[in-house]
Amino acid sequence: MSRFEVRIAGQGGQGIVTAGVMIGRAASVFGGKNVTLTQSYGPESRGGASKVEVIVSDEKVHYPKIRKPNVVAIMSQEAYQKNLEDLNGNAIVVLDSGMVQEDSSNHARVYHVPATRIAESLGKRIVASMVMVGAIIGLTNILDSGFVENAVAKYTPRGTEQLNLNAFKSGREYAQKLLQEQGVTSQQG
């Protein structure tokens, strides 16, 4: 794939930006791609809305705003209400099922992944966003899984590498099971 766009949205303190940075590093350092990463935050940095958008391309990215996201991952109810409006029909939507109540199933390709619950079972709620990265990779072909594992091992804080890798793998495996239940091997975003 020559270009893909990912949006991850939730609240401050959920590691949203870190998740985007990890995808960006995996794509640039290990995948040899060009990356543009945009983060937005309001005055209330804790508890307020948090969003990251990552564009990965073979070519230089001139327009940093996402136009047709391939994947949108949502980790809070507020983010759910704000971040699904501009989707095209092909976008894959991943909801943190412990954090988001779906209003109506108005989007065809919605997957429910209990990212925060999985993170809690691993011992640290903060790695929920890394579970979500795993789910994104498990559901799509956007990036080689090994590139992301390399990035997680290299760029997460010392002492937390294994926890983050476990979170990533748990999310990927959960997503792969969801696809198997549907009889699909992988979605094209």
Name the site residues for a copy of itself (rule: CB under 8 A). Answer: 24-25, 28-29, 31-43, 45, 60-61, 63-65
CB closer to a copy of itself out of 52 and 100: 52
User: Cα dihedral angle (95, 143, 28, 80), rounded to 10 degrees?
Assistant: -10
Name every residue whose Cβ is closer than 8 Å to that of residue 23 and which is 6 or more positions away in sequence. 6, 54, 56, 133, 136, 143, 148, 151
CB closer to a copy of itself out of 63 and 89: 63
- CB of 35: closest distance to a copy of itself in angstroms? 6
Residue 93 has φ and ψ, to the nearest 5°, of -110, 130
CB closer to a copy of itself out of 26 and 167: 26
Cα distance between residue 97 and residue 171, in whole Å: 13
- CB of 38: closest distance to a copy of itself in angstroms? 4
C-alpha distances in Å from residue 84, one per residue of 73, 136, 147, 152: 10, 16, 28, 28
- CB of 63: closest distance to a copy of itself in angstroms? 7
- CB of 182: closest distance to a copy of itself in angstroms? 35
- CB of 13: closest distance to a copy of itself in angstroms? 13
CB closer to a copy of itself out of 27 and 175: 27
CB closer to a copy of itself out of 155 and 161: 155
SS3 of 124, please? coil
Instruction: State the residue for tokens 């990965």.
Output: 56
